[in-house]
Structure 1
Amino acid sequence: MAPTAVNGTGNGTSREHEVLHRAGGTQRSGAAAPEAATAPAGGSAPSSQHPVDLQRAREAIRLALPEPGSKFSQDDEFCVVAQPDGTWGEYRFHDYDRIFGVPGLYEKIFYDVLGCDSPRFMVGLLSEALAAAGEQASALRVLDLGAGNGIMAEELAAVGVEHSVGVDILTEARDAALRDRPGLYADYQVADLTRLSAAQRETLAGHELNALTVVAALGFGDIPPAAFRTAYDLVAPGGWVVLTIKDAFLDATDTSGFGGMIGESIRSGALEVVRRERFQHRLATDSSPLLYEGIVARKRGQLAG
């Protein structure tokens, strides 16, 4: 089957579908040829308006997904993207350094085509929890762990958060955030939280953080439990913790380390859950839903383990 590319975005912009006669030799051995990639109903882009150049970049990108009958694990999903020279290049979804290097590609894949809505959804849960507690978003000083190119900070700013600090292990992520969403972060640290230097720890502590957001970033080796623990320890007692995690990582059979750490912390009361909802994070490349747990909690003690 010849692959089909997608132009435009899934947020109401018109689409043009073109049949491509080749995929530039990027098809994986044993993988089905890509076919039409279309944005699912109900998918949305981040709520606040993007700079015009980023929006135009998203609309100009042409990509193709494997045909729906091809099943890949979430850690092995990929797409092919049209290159300037007319060839097609393969991008594995967890190759964030390469994806962030192309303006608009992250948004195109995960928001326009696969309907990711996690940042907006989780900020909505946080806003409801703040209102119930009689607290203002403007009082939050947020550590955004796994900050990427700033989509979460954009959503936080939209509801009144005035101080966000980004942390990501990738220099490419910080470069993309400064390129695509300048001015959203009071600070952006490129750091490995499993080996945080004394200077970096002092810098982060100086922000007097009282909230932690980790959205669409836990598991799959992207952020290990030790890094999450370090970030959690930087948040003041009573602070807010906002996280999403694939439901399988909280299962009793989980071997990632998150099931025991988060599950036991909730049971002990160290993490006081305020809101918890199971929701659709996005679609997989075969159009099946990827379900995550969304948790908004207060820090009442040290994490288990």
Structure 2
Amino acid sequence: MTTTVFRIAGDLEVRRLGFGAMHLPTEPGPARAASVAVARRAVELGVTLIDTAYLYGGGANEELLAEALYPYADGLFVTTKVGVARSGPSGEWRLDGRPSVLREQVERALRRLRVERIELLQLHRVDPETPLADQLGTLRDLRAEGKIGRIGLSEVTVDELDRARRIVDVASVQNRYNLLDREHEPVLAACEAAGIAFLPWRPVAWGDAGSRAEVAAVAAETGATPTQVALAWLLGRSPVVLPIPGTARIDHLEENLAAGRLHLTPAHRTRLDRLAEASA
């Protein structure tokens, strides 16, 4: 039986199917109203972990979530990411893990999200031009100040995760991973061994037509959709996996979250496991 909850860092209990807010439009008008409705519906359906980032509109996505969900329901956590900024030569986005930038982005996220503490704060990318100890040391300081509850990483290798864990306690890792894209299998294995939450972004992505056909066949046999099959596979892949599928449509949201009730047999899982080899 697949468990439905996970305790990040051993104490932050969340439902294992979360919601990624990246795709929610934030511009004024009907699209923004629809985004607010989607975020609220996610919470109504039991989502307790919502993922955003400063990169998503330069904070606009964070502001949208606060508009939609504040005051937050008990047990609802909005996690955000820092470490990408418009600090390139012409104001373009670039990796920027300088301590002053990270601190400023966290301070602003607190104001936008209307909270005194971000329970899970993730480093969006490791900035190769700033010492890792400086980047994580800043987040560790912010945690000591009570502004961050737990520290996570995104798009890291096993070596980067190992080095990071010598500096701070790592609560989560957010890497690209799905049924057909398992490049970060070693990172997932490392997270499972250490009890670290693994939040796959792009949890649903399709490869060649043959692979899609196999997914469609399993979907037909289980009375589900291919998307639900892909998410159910992730939930059964490891107990530390917390998928965060994103959408701007309520019908897709409801489809995604229904995947938590889908049971895949061992035979189904064996067939799906083989797809990574076919798509390699």
Higher relative strand content: 1
Q: TM-score range by the shorter chain?
A: 0.3 to 0.5
TM-score by length of 2: 0.34
Higher RCO (C-alpha 8 Å, min separation 6): 2
Larger radius of gyration between Structure 1 and Structure 2: 1
Structure having the larger proportion of residues in helix: 2
TM-score (norm 1): 0.32
